[in-house]
Amino acid sequence: MAVLTIARMGNPVLRAVAEPIADPTDPEVARLAADMIETMMDAPGVGLAAPQVAVARRIVVFRVPADRGEGETVATTVLVNPVIEPLDGGTELGWEGCLSIPGLRGLVPRHRRIRYRGIGLDGAPIEREASGFHARVLQHEIDHLDGVLYIDRMDDLTLLAFTDEAHHITDARKG
The verdict on whether 141 is a catalytic residue reads yes
Q: Which residue out of 92, 127, 141, 165 is catalytically annotated?
A: 141
Q: Enumerate residues 6+ apart whose C-beta is below 8 A from 133.
A: 64, 68, 69, 70, 72, 94
How many other C-beta atoms can be found within 10 angstroms of the C-beta atom of residue 13?
17
Q: Which of 154, 18, 159 is nearest to 82 (CA)?
A: 18
Specify whether the CB–CB gap between 33 and 21 falls below 8 A: no
Among all residues, which ones are annotated catalytic? 141
